[in-house]
């Protein structure tokens, strides 16, 4: 009886070990079959959000209206359909698919790049160099509108891989809150003024004017540099007015030399002249004087009359 009990115990032990091995190998086999490819944490929902998103570039420095700099370091989210969008001013825009799929999309739509400027106004904030989308990178434009509270109000995709966001905030409710000129320092305002004057006088084309303004905005940090480096034409600095005492003296010297040349010319042709004729004759001008100043008419230098 005792021997029979021992045999049964031994058989149960062997059966238990075999079942354990079978279950272990079966689980291992299943894990290998459904194992997901390595995505280096980009779409791994078990990792922290900051670890999943891999930015291609660093954000540009904070720039633009000073009162908008208070938005830096904050984020605003909006859920539409199965996606949650997150806008972090002066940092990035991200999109997160609200799904339990193992490869649910979570990526960057754009990183803070530069302002869009038109008619002396900040018209939008461009977020570029987002995740790859076909042959290009995703990008987003953020438009600011007035509202009682700051919030991300709307997100759309007007064209493939290009997104449009509407951000509402009381920081832009003042009519001058998005003007560009007041945000510039004194030097850049002067550069802008000179460009305006040159365009008004017809010394530069509209394209030249736009290039000068772009240089001003790049120097202010509003736009990314494209190395335009436009310059005002030299003629703009050499106007008829005297810009300095030295310039005035140089012009006076040139005039004196021209007077001496004209006197020598008149003397050579035996033409009498009186340097005070205009003053003593009440502003009357001789025929010779009118001709030398460019008056229209025939004049015979050989005629003593």
Q: State the average pLDDT for the chain.
A: 76
User: Rounded CA gap, 144 and 178, in Å?
Assistant: 9
> Where does the pLDDT of residue 32 fall: very low under 50, low under 70, confident under 90, or very high at 90 and above?
very low
Residue 108 has pLDDT above 60, yes or no: yes
- What is residue 7's predicted lDDT score, i.e. its pLDDT? 52
- What is residue 220's predicted lDDT score, i.e. its pLDDT? 96
> Where does the pLDDT of residue 256 fall: very low under 50, low under 70, confident under 90, or very high at 90 and above?
confident
User: Rounded CA gap, 152 and 77, in Å?
Assistant: 6
> Where does the pLDDT of residue 285 fall: very low under 50, low under 70, confident under 90, or very high at 90 and above?
very low
> Where does the pLDDT of residue 227 fall: very low under 50, low under 70, confident under 90, or very high at 90 and above?
low
- What is residue 100's predicted lDDT score, i.e. its pLDDT? 79
Percent of the chain with pLDDT over 90: 51
Residue 11 has pLDDT above 80, yes or no: no
- What is residue 157's predicted lDDT score, i.e. its pLDDT? 94
- What is residue 102's predicted lDDT score, i.e. its pLDDT? 78
Lowest mean per-residue pLDDT among 73-82, 121-130, 241-250, 278-287: 278-287
- What is residue 3's predicted lDDT score, i.e. its pLDDT? 52
pLDDT in tens, 47-63: 444 445 788 899 999 99
For residues 251-264, average pLDDT:
78
Residue 297 has pLDDT above 50, yes or no: no
> Where does the pLDDT of residue 244 fall: very low under 50, low under 70, confident under 90, or very high at 90 and above?
low
Residue 284 has pLDDT above 70, yes or no: no
């Amino acid at each position: 009886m005792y021997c029979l009990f021992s045999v049964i115990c031994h058989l149960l032990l062997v059966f238990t070990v075999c079942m354990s091995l079978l279950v272990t190998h079966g689980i291992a086999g299943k894990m290998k079959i459904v194992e997901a490819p390595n995505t280096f944490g980009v779409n791994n929902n078990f990792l922290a959000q900051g670890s999943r998103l891999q930015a291609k570039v660093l954000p540009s420095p904070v720039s633009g209206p000073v009162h908008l700099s208070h938005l830096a370091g904050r984020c605003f989210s909006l859920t539409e359909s199965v996606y949650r969008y997150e806008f972090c001013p002066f940092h990035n825009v991200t999109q997160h698919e609200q799904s339990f799929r193992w490869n649910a999309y979570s990526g960057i739509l754009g990183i803070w790049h530069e302002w869009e400027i038109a008619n002396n106004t900040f018209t939008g904030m461009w977020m570029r160099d987002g995740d790859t989308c076909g042959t290009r990178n995703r990008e987003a434009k953020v438009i600011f509108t007035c509202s009682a509270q700051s919030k991300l109000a709307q997100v759309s995709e007007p064209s493939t891989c290009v997104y449009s966001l509407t951000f509402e905030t009381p920081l832009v409710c003042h009519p001058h809150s998005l003007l560009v000129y007041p945000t510039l320092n004194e030097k850049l305002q002067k550069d802008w003024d000179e460009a305006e004057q040159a365009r008004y006088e017809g010394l530069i084309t509209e394209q030249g004017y736009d290039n000068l303004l772009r240089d001003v905005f790049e120097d202010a940090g509003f736009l990314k540099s494209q190395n335009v480096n436009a310059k005002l034409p030299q003629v703009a600095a050499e106007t008829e007015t005297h810009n300095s005492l030295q310039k005035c003296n140089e012009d006076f010297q040139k005039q004196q030399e021209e007077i001496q040349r004209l006197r020598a010319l008149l003397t050579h042709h035996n033409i009498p002249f009186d340097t005070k004729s205009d003053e003593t004759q009440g502003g009357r001008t001789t025929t010779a004087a009118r001709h030398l100043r460019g008056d229209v008419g025939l004049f015979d230098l050989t005629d003593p009359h």
